[in-house]
Chains A and B, each alone.
Chain A
Amino acid sequence: MAGFDLRQIDRRVIFTLIFVVVAWPLLRPMRLPMDVTPPVQRLYEAVEAVPPGSIVMLAGDYSPDTMPELQPMVISFVRHAFRRDLKIVTTSLWANSPPLIEDALAPLAAEFGKTYGVDFVNLGYMAGGTVTLLGMGASIPNTFPQDYYGTPVAGLPLMREVTNFDDIALVMNVSSGTPGTREWVQQVQGRYRVRLASGTTAVAAPPFYPYVQSGQLVGLLGGLKGAAEYEMLVDAPGDAVRGMDAQSIVHALIVFFILLGNVAYFAERRAQRARGGAAQREVTA
Chain B
Amino acid sequence: MNWLQELFTGAPGTPPSAVWGTWVAGLLTLAIYSFLYKDNPVYRFAESLFVGVGAAYWLAILYHNTLVPKLFVPLFFPPEGQPVLWYRVFPGVLAAFMLLRFFPKLSWLSRWSLGFVVGMYAAVNTTGFAQGDLVAQIHATVTTPLTSGGGLVIALNAAAIVGVIATLIYFFFSKEHRGPVGAAARLGIWFLMVAFGASFGYTVMGRVSLLIGRMTFLLRDWLHLMQ
Q: Do chains A and B touch in the complex (CB under 8 A)?
A: yes
Give A214's nearest chain B residue, CB to CB.
Answer: B140
A125 adjacent to B124 (CB under 8 Å): no
CA distance A187 to B131 in the complex (A): 8
B216 adjacent to A242 (CB under 8 Å): yes
**Which positions 203-257 of chain A face chain B at CB distance < 8 Å?**
203, 205-207, 210, 213-216, 222-225, 239, 242-243, 246-247, 250-251, 254
B202 adjacent to A145 (CB under 8 Å): no
Given known contacts A15-B36, A210-B140, A215-B140, is B65 in contact with A27 (CB within 8 Å)? no
User: Between A and B, how many residue pairs show CB distances below 8 Å?
Assistant: 154
A117 interface residue per 8 A CB criterion: no
Give B202's nearest chain A residue, CB to CB.
Answer: A202
Nearest-CB distance from A190 to chain B (Å)? 5
A65 adjacent to B210 (CB under 8 Å): yes
On chain B, the residues within 8 Å of A187 by CB distance are 124, 128, 132
Given known contacts A154-B79, A186-B132, A214-B139, is B208 in contact with A250 (CB within 8 Å)? yes
B16 interface residue per 8 A CB criterion: no
> Which stretch of B5-13, B54-62, B175-183 is in the interface?
B54-62
A39 interface residue per 8 A CB criterion: no
Cβ-defined partner of B61 (8 Å) among A125, A214, A250: A125
Nearest-CB distance from B45 to chain A (Å)? 19
Report the interface size for chain A: residues with CB under 8 A from the other chain.
60
A183 interface residue per 8 A CB criterion: yes
Given known contacts A12-B36, A223-B202, is B209 in contact with A202 (CB within 8 Å)? yes
On chain B, the residues within 8 Å of A202 by CB distance are 202-203, 205-206, 209
Q: Secondary structure of the A side of the interface?
A: helix
A69 adjacent to B132 (CB under 8 Å): no
CA distance A205 to B120 in the complex (A): 28
B136 adjacent to A183 (CB under 8 Å): no
Q: Please, could you name 27 A-B residue pairs with CB atoms under 8 Å apart, sorted by A?
A: A18-B211, A26-B215, A26-B220, A26-B226, A27-B219, A68-B216, A95-B58, A124-B64, A128-B66, A131-B121, A145-B70, A146-B68, A146-B73, A183-B128, A186-B125, A186-B128, A190-B131, A202-B202, A202-B205, A203-B202, A203-B203, A205-B202, A214-B139, A214-B140, A224-B212, A243-B213, A251-B208
